[in-house]
């Protein structure tokens, strides 16, 4: 691996590439290894272990988008685990790292999405309903790559009035287009592909371009969880 921003053509790579520790998916970090082994202990088979690790990362690490994006630790698996909270990019890195730590090939993938449900303050800061570089983990289970999105934890989902996203290890676990009330939720716009490690520099450059107010606010701190509530706007785009 020549660097954290290098993308791998998965059609040419072997599983070994996605089992190695990387600068951001640091699966050899002692804390990552301990966390992965703890939650995979006594669980037989890659399928069951992947499901167990998904639940541990989804609910064990709280989601909060107000992070310091200039700090690489915000994107690094061990840094997110140490903080106990992170946004989608960091949490996907943790899941991928935990999978690698127990011998399950994993990588990270990205897509641009239109988010119809978020807090009014966050929308005011981003000035758009498009979230660039939304991340998920891509896990190789029993010979098949399966997408897993551990972003929103169970507690946050309850605050927002939406069901937590489940993962069965057999089919892709991606954000639902509608919530339980039939309101628009997430719309996938652009697939950026999968990577062997988090492309930190590219993501940060894009965030600075599209979200200058969010970058400033995140560095000043905020609390997305406190803003989240069951009656979030059904269509944030209508506020503009």
pLDDT greater than 60 at residue 3: no
Q: Is residue 212 part of a domain?
A: yes
Tell me: the pLDDT tens digits for 53-101? 999 999 999 998 888 999 999 999 999 999 999 999 999 999 999 999 9
Task: Name 34's Cβ contacts closer than 8 Å, sequence gap at least 6.
Answer: none
Does some domain include residue 1? no
Structural domain for 105, as ranges: 15-239
pTM comes to 0.86
Residue 193: inside a domain: yes
CB–CB of 148/135 below 8 Å?
no
- Look at the chain and report how many structural domains it folds into: 1
Inside any domain, residue 233: yes
Q: How many CB atoms lie within 10 A of CB 1?
A: 12
Inside any domain, residue 7:
no
Left, alpha or beta for 95 (phi > 0: left; psi -120 to 50: alpha)? alpha
- The structure tokens listed for 42 are 């006594």
CATH of the domain at 227: 3.10.620.30
pLDDT digits (tens, 9 = 90+) for 47-64: 999 999 999 999 999 998
Place of tokens 């507690």: 155
Evaluate whether residue 107 is within a structural domain.
Answer: yes
Answer for the pair 147, 137: CB distance below 8 angstroms, yes or no: yes
* Residue 63: CA count within 13 A, CB half-sphere: 22
Residue 194 lies inside a defined structural domain of this protein: yes
Q: Is residue 9 part of a domain?
A: no
């Amino acid at each position: 691996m020549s660097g954290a921003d290098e993308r791998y053509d998965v059609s040419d790579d072997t599983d070994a590439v996605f089992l190695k520790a990387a600068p951001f998916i640091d699966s050899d970090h002692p804390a990552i290894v301990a966390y992965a082994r703890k939650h995979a202990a006594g669980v037989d088979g890659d399928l069951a272990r992947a499901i167990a690790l998904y639940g541990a990362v989804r609910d064990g690490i709280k989601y909060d988008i107000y992070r310091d994006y200039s700090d690489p630790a915000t994107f690094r698996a061990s840094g997110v685990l140490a903080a106990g909270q992170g946004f989608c990019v960091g949490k996907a890195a943790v899941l991928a790292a935990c999978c690698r730590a127990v011998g399950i090939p994993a990588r990270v993938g990205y897509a641009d999405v239109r988010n119809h449900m978020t807090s009014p303050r966050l929308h005011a800061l981003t000035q758009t309903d498009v979230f660039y570089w939304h991340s998920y983990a891509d896990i190789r289970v029993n010979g098949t790559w399966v997408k897993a999105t551990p972003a929103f934890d169970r507690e946050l989902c309850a605050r927002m009035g939406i069901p937590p996203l489940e993962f069965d290890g057999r089919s892709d676990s991606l954000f639902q287009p509608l919530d339980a009330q039939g309101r628009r939720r997430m719309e996938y716009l652009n697939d950026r592909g999968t990577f062997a490690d988090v492309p930190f520099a590219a993501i940060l450059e894009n965030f600075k371009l599209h979200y200058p107010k969010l970058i400033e606010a995140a560095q000043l701190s905020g609390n997305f969880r406190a803003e989240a509530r069951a009656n979030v706007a059904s269509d944030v785009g209508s506020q503009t």
